[in-house]
Amino acid sequence: MLKEKVLAKINDQFQFEIESAYLYYAMSAYFESINLKGFANWMTIQAQEELTHSHRLFTYIINRGARPSFGAAAAPKQDWKSPLDAMKDAYKHECKVSEMINECVGVAMKEGDHMTTTMLQWFVNEQVEEEAAADDVAQKLKLIGDNSGALFMLDSELSKRTLAPETGAA
């Protein structure tokens, strides 16, 4: 059985992963609206990954004999000044997710919940990749500047992203 403080943190993270998907779908719609379909694809895949993360937490809560809690998702930002601004926001968001995962780990450790600490290690490792991926695109956009040809080349590169199969048990 999950301790109350651990359950509260994991439920917060469960909710935030759903809100993350909501944000990335909004970013996908933004990129569609400016005809950057590769960027839109990248964000749609990102949204799908966040839903997978929320499901992993949902399953973990259930498997530990507790019940997930559900709250209203806040409306995400829906417009950006440029593709670079959107990607900077994606990177900042991933940094926030990392902070929250670290807080979950801290509470689980403080409560002596080794099972939850072990489960959360997957998220810790995943966040290294998530931050790096968003920052990589943002850094490329900085290099591109106002070069529309390079922007379209990057858009083509991002169109090739696919949803990776989920690894590990929930």
Fold of 4-68+82-158: Ferritin (1.20.1260)
Residue 167, pLDDT score: 52
Rounded to an integer, what distance in angstroms lies between the CA atom of residue 87 and that of residue 82? 9
- Supply the mean pLDDT for the chain: 95
Rounded to an integer, what distance in angstroms lies between the CA atom of residue 40 and that of residue 32? 6
Rounded to an integer, what distance in angstroms lies between the CA atom of residue 83 and that of residue 19? 21
Please state the domain extents for the chain.
Answer: 4-68+82-158
In the block, tokens 């829906």 appear at: 78
Which of the residues in the chain have pLDDT under 50?
A: 168-170
Residue 166, pLDDT score: 65
Per-residue pLDDT of 71-106, as tens digits, reads 998 899 999 999 999 999 999 999 999 999 999 999
